A and B are shown apart, each in its own frame.
Chain A
Amino acid sequence: MSMKYKPGRGFLLFLVRNMILYFLLLNAYSHLKRELDIVFLSSVFVLAVLIAVWTERGRLRFLPALLLILLIPLGLRFLFFQVFGLQRSLSPGPETDFLYFYFDKDFFPGLLPFLIIWLFNFCALRFPVFIYLETGFNALFLLVIFWSEAGYRITLYPHPTLFAAALLSFLLCEILVIMLGRLPDTRIRAAEDTPVSWKKEARSFLSFMWLIVPLLFILLFFLLSRFNQGAVRLGGGLMKPTLFRFDFSEFIRLESEIEMSDDLVLLFRKEGPAERILLRRYILSGFDKRRGFYHVRKKGLEDLPVTVSDMAEEIQDPDYLARADVRQEYFFVNFDPTSLIGMNYPVKVTPLKNWDSSSFLRIYRVHSRVSQAGPFELEDIDSDGLTPGQHRHYTFYGNDEEIEKLAEEITAWSGSESYYAKVLLIRDYLKTNYFYSLKPGLAADGDQLSHFLFKSQKGYCSYFAFAMTLLCRSLGIPARVAVGFYVDPETEVLNFYEVRAYQAHAWVEVYFSDYGWIEFDPSSTEIAPGEEFILQFGFDFEHLSRLIEEILKNQDQLEEEKHEQLAVRKKIFLWGGELVKALSFVVGIWYITLPVLYLLTISIIKLHTYILFIFHSSERKKVKYLFRFSLVRAYGLGLIRRPEESIMEYSEKLDLEYSLNLRPWTEYYLKAVFDSSFPDQDYAQALKAYYRFLSSFKETYPLILRILGFLNPMHSLMRRA
């Protein structure tokens, strides 16, 4: 009984292909969604598809079809204009006058997609092999569309998760297209009129997909990585995208160029005194010349929590002097909801209940004890109070002599031994002698900090914070970098403050005995010459007012969250957090993980017969697995056995054409499989035959080719022997 592919398969292919095209079209025009009529654009799409089917069914040749397709829109436009003319003569007035403009407004932007969609559909229907090219083109289009969208500027996706989901769907659809589109095979089988085994089909398909799927995933990771880079730059070199949201990086490197985005990150309400509002996310106290500053979780150091759990958490108050209570409420809009932000020093974190259909991802309250210490209090203070281990940690600066020398020069003339005076001198030195710049430039020797301090003298906040911390540390003053958000007190509206991505900031905390870690901001406010920022980020009052309105209306519901099954939830929460972090890390180094993953998978697939050979006790089976392994090696080099060939014919062909000495080895294999007896001597002879084959294989193919053959995914799943 013969069985061919059902007609539904072709239709499904047609449908999925066009879904992908429509997806690309929508994304390409996402910027213009307010300007372009989506109904018009969709009509253009449908028209192009229908005309493509019609021209293909009509067996029109390519060039006449192309000519026709160029004329059709113009003809349609002419027809429409005639109708408009008639309308104008029947009912003159502005509304009929404007029909021309309204039509053209959508018509011209629709021309290009019309042509492309027709071309793709026509070619895919006419030349089945075009489907593979189309996959490539689609991937290219995807890249072009999203290349300029780096840094979460996609208008179609309000949320990065949606974007990731859309990309994944795109990939799955493309894989489905390739799977459905394997027409050459289909035709051969149809011609042969042979039944199709779905298992064989799937195996053969998977063999083929070995090549395509990694490529598509590389594209996906490439785009996501591009997004990451864009987002880090847009986050002022401090923020990075987690899998789903923004968050600060636990490692801060000095970038050669950053940008600023005005995406709303969170809303923040404060009650209590605080002249300077610095919302701290991470303390970066670890230093490594190559890695920069990083967050350290180590016993003996001040280890504040960095995530907000489900229940209220009290943090031991170190009872620093001259501190005032400041209560803060955070309403996250586009920020990792597990992140803990708080003014220095947080003593209590209370997650608050969020209301239904809220605009906020997470709401919590932080009580902080904020320093009010001024010059009089700090003037005569030193760093007593830190353990020797802590002191060592907070004063480590990599023994950079240049930095040490500079720090001494800066503080030399003060004549004061006061450590507060030295800190101020360093801060003021950086503030007054250096410029703020979003483009600090690339250091020739890779040492960005040294480039900043001794050459370019311009950088963004991280440069200033790094520099001040290291200068202080070189004088034995315990200092660390803090990252978070700077909030301008002037922007207050009813005690609410908008926090946008460009407010991400880095500053310095210096330790003062009894008074704790005190903040210093060394960033210059002088813009580097030639870098006039004329952009001023204004309030979006309407949006802010909407959000404030929502909070005020739901203020009564802002109570502490109740905790059912708290322990389990907390565990899941923590595990989830760790999992997300691990995944983020793996995604972040995709250029390593992907090849490793590939190597691991291909090794498992190709070596598993060899492993079975080693561990199996039956000699017959051992020969069988070893022979299969030999075939896997041959297939990797493109020595494929044709369906009509018997195994012996195949062996002879390889012996004849490639001098591979496979035939004796095949004979032993057949013996092991089919003979009633297979004594030990035969097994020993079989192994000899295998080694002869192996040496002939090595002689014919040099090492590099054998390695490439091993890595080649094509036909790796073929097991016919």
Chain B
Amino acid sequence: MILYLFLFLLLAHSIWPQEDKSADWYHDAATRAISNENYETAVKIIEQGKEKYPKSPELNLLLANLYYDKELYKLALDEYLEAEIKGGEEYYTLNQISRCYGKLNREEESIEYLKKILIDYPDSVTTIDDLGWMYFKTYQLEKGEELLLEAAKRYGPDRGIFMTLGTLYSGMYEYENSKQFYLKAIDEAIQSEDDYFASVAYYNLSLLEHNFYHFYSSLRYTEESLRSADRAPGHLARGELYQSRMNFSLALSEYQKSLTRDTTSLSKVNLAILYQRFGMLELAKRYAEDVLNSKDLAWMYYYGTDIERHYKDIHEILGDIYEGLARTELMKSEHKLLVRIKNLFLCIKYRLIAYYHRQKFRLYSIQVGKAYMEEKNLLDANWEFYKGNERYRDIALNYLNSARRFETKVSPHSEAYYLKEEGKLLKSKELLEESLSALDPFWEKEGIADALILLIPLLKKNTVSRREALNRLYEINPGGLLQYGFGLPLVIDFKLLENRRDRRIKHILRFLRRAGSEIAPADNLKGLNYGLEIDLEKQDRVSFKLINRVNNKILKQDSVDTGPGSSRKRAALAVKVIIDKLYSIR
């Protein structure tokens, strides 16, 4: 009998064991399952627990944390919100909700939650700092400034608050204030031996200096940033400075270093821009399209950008890349008619793709401009509206001048860039030349190259001024000519066996002209700094030298085995190699 009773009790226990399980039991069991990586079991336990204890927020929080750790922010947000409804309105829950909104690029909701936290926890400096940062992200700069200055006064020095203040002032184009707060943040960080923080602050300071065209200071702070911590953004910033000096190899090296340390798409974007600038269009295309196709955008939370801005930049680069590809397709030295036809089709295809990217860029520019406008950031809004309406001169000019009024007031040197843009819109040689003379010949070579690219088509062909502009562009960036339809003006000197006529000459000259080069007649050599010496003594081989005619220095030389075949074919092969060599960067 006792045995039956015992068995009955045992059975009853095994049938109704859940009745005894407390919320803590579910919490503990789920926690154990999570630590054993039995997530399915954990989720099941939590769901059972939630059903049984619908008023307890603890299980929601446990599940939310699991989702948050796994970067499933939308799922995490739902759980945190449910926890909040169930009464878990603690600092942690609200802060996590705000973070989730931030990660999901829903800034306004994130701000709402930060404000909510500050009602219950008005002394939370971290929350104040976060709110300041979100104000910066949504361009509510005055609000951010007021909030953080008040906090700095009330709670004393805090490097986080100082840095956000620096960033806010940088957004307001208040150079002195911004620099002062960044330096304060750096001091604080150094005193606390927080190298990582110091590195970020130095990096921000270097960006500020760059924005205000203080290139030397910018480089110095970038070096400091990297000395404090070897981070990807530091390399990116240093690469950008080298790029503005049009130093390809240094910039490339920095971007590659950044790429190995980077968790964002920014290094790839910079690499795409660099390769495009220097005419390596296929590589640029691959990087840019990779970024465009990338679906991971959560990194934007920590950066002063958003999805529209990011895509706007990518489409702009891709537009430039495809424009360049379209132009170079027609400049290729091909001797076969079918290949020429194929090139023509490719050119049309690339033009259409370029048109698509340009339109996307303009569309995003207008969207971004509208967002800035809502945020009352008139300088950037006007600039974006200008970019979006570039095809409509009067409208574009209007927005360009509005942006100019704002920016030249705080940064007079920016006038050089506005002159360039105005010159581009009005197709004015004078404005572009004025811009060129205002740009720093060492630090702003990139700007100079851009202005030259705009100026050259406005100059009459075969004139000294055009030749000089082309020479200057070539000196800055040999890879930047072909993609804009330009070729280096050349004096050609053929070396032949005595008394022999070579049919290759005619074709070589034609192919070089097709590649955009002006081949000057002997009586008009002014402004022609480069000579191309082509040795045709052998029928199946062509050797060539590019010579600087000013100092008679050989700049580049090579030879190519053209093999047998028609003179046209051999000439085409030779010119292909000549062009590759002539416009190569390395």
> Which A positions have Cβ atoms within 8 angstroms of B?
32, 35, 94, 97-98, 100-101, 104-105, 108, 269, 271, 493-495, 534-536, 538-546, 548-549, 552, 555-556
Contact = CB atoms under 8 A, between A and B. Distances in A.
Interface in B36-50: 37-41, 43-44, 47
A493 B359 CA distance: 38
B389 A98 contact: yes
Please report whether the interface of chain A is mostly helix, strand, loop or mixed according to DSSP.
helix
A492 to B, nearest CB: 8
A627 to B, nearest CB: 55
A486 B355 CA distance: 40
A544 B37 CA distance: 19
Given A105-B363, A495-B39, A543-B295, 19 more contacts: A35-B359, A35-B363, A97-B399, A98-B388, A100-B395, A101-B363, A101-B366, A271-B38, A493-B72, A494-B39, A494-B43, A535-B286, A538-B294, A539-B296, A540-B296, A541-B71, A541-B73, A545-B73, A548-B75
Contact of A542 (B37, B74, B293, B388): B74
Given A101-B366, A101-B389, A101-B391, A271 B72 contact: no
A545 B72 contact: yes
A101 B298 contact: no
B72 A548 contact: yes
Interface string B333-365: 000000000000000000000011001101100
A493 B71 contact: yes
B324 interface: no
A495 B37 CA distance: 7
Contacts of A100: 389, 391-392, 395
Given A94-B369, A105-B359, A541 B298 contact: yes
Interface of B: 37-41, 43-44, 47, 66-67, 70-75, 268, 286-287, 290, 293-296, 298, 355-356, 359-360, 362-363, 366, 369-370, 373, 385, 388-389, 391-392, 395, 398-399
Nearest to A96: B395
Nearest to A272: B38
A541 B40 contact: no
Contacts of B47: 552, 555-556
A152 to B, nearest CB: 16
Contact of A534 (B41, B73, B286, B360): B286
A548 to B, nearest CB: 6
Contact of A541 (B295, B359, B370, B385): B295
B44 A98 contact: no
A494 B298 CA distance: 18
B357 to A, nearest CB: 11
Contacts of B37: 495
25 contacts: A94-B369, A94-B370, A97-B385, A98-B366, A100-B389, A101-B363, A101-B389, A105-B363, A494-B39, A495-B37, A495-B39, A495-B40, A534-B286, A538-B296, A539-B295, A539-B296, A540-B295, A541-B73, A543-B295, A544-B72, A545-B72, A545-B73, A545-B75, A548-B75, A555-B43
B70 to A, nearest CB: 5
Nearest to B388: A101
A549 B63 CA distance: 12
Contact of B290 (A35, A94, A98, A535): A535
Contact of B70 (A98, A493, A538, A549): A493
B172 to A, nearest CB: 22
A542 B295 contact: yes
Nearest to B355: A108
A97 B362 CA distance: 13
Contact of A101 (B39, B295, B362, B373): B362
Nearest to B399: A97
Nearest to B41: A271
Nearest to A31: B356
B75 A549 contact: yes
Contacts of A556: 47
A545 B74 contact: yes
A541 B366 contact: no
Contacts of A94: 369-370, 373, 385
A430 B355 CA distance: 47
A556 B48 CA distance: 10
Nearest to B38: A271
Contacts of A543: 295
Contact of A97 (B38, B290, B360, B389): B389
Given A98-B366, A271-B40, A535-B290, A104 B72 contact: no
Contacts of A539: 295-296
A255 B74 CA distance: 42
Contacts of A545: 72-75
Contacts of A549: 72, 74-75
Q: Pick from B37, B72, B362, B363 the residue with the most CB of A within 10 Å.
A: B72
Nearest to A535: B290
A451 B90 CA distance: 67
Contacts of B287: 534
Nearest to A495: B39
Nearest to A104: B391
A480 to B, nearest CB: 32
B395 A541 contact: no
Contacts of A32: 356
CB-CB nearest 5 A-B residue pairs: A540-B295, A538-B296, A494-B39, A495-B39, A545-B72
Nearest to A539: B296
A35 B286 contact: no
A666 B395 CA distance: 86
Nearest to A81: B392
A552 to B, nearest CB: 6
B47 to A, nearest CB: 7
A541 B294 CA distance: 11
Q: Pick from A104, A494, A535, A555 the residue with the most CB of B within 10 Å.
A: A494
A555 B44 contact: yes
A581 B226 CA distance: 62
Nearest to A538: B296
Contacts of A108: 355
A552 B392 contact: no
A549 B79 CA distance: 11
A541 B373 CA distance: 31
A227 to B, nearest CB: 22
Contacts of B391: 100-101, 104
Contacts of A97: 385, 389, 392, 395, 398-399
Contacts of B40: 269, 271, 494-495, 555
Contacts of A541: 71-73, 295-296, 298
A494 B370 CA distance: 39
A594 B414 CA distance: 70
A108 B293 CA distance: 26
B449 to A, nearest CB: 26
B274 to A, nearest CB: 14
Nearest to B289: A535
Contacts of B366: 98, 101
Nearest to A536: B290
Contacts of B356: 32, 35
A534 B43 CA distance: 37
A87 to B, nearest CB: 13
B133 to A, nearest CB: 23
A548 B73 CA distance: 12
B38 to A, nearest CB: 6
A629 B385 CA distance: 78
A35 B363 CA distance: 9
Contact of B66 (A271, A494, A555): A494
Contacts of B398: 97
Contacts of B293: 535
Nearest to A556: B47
Contacts of B399: 97
A546 B73 CA distance: 11
A594 B369 CA distance: 58
A540 B293 CA distance: 10
Contacts of A538: 294-296
B72 A494 contact: yes
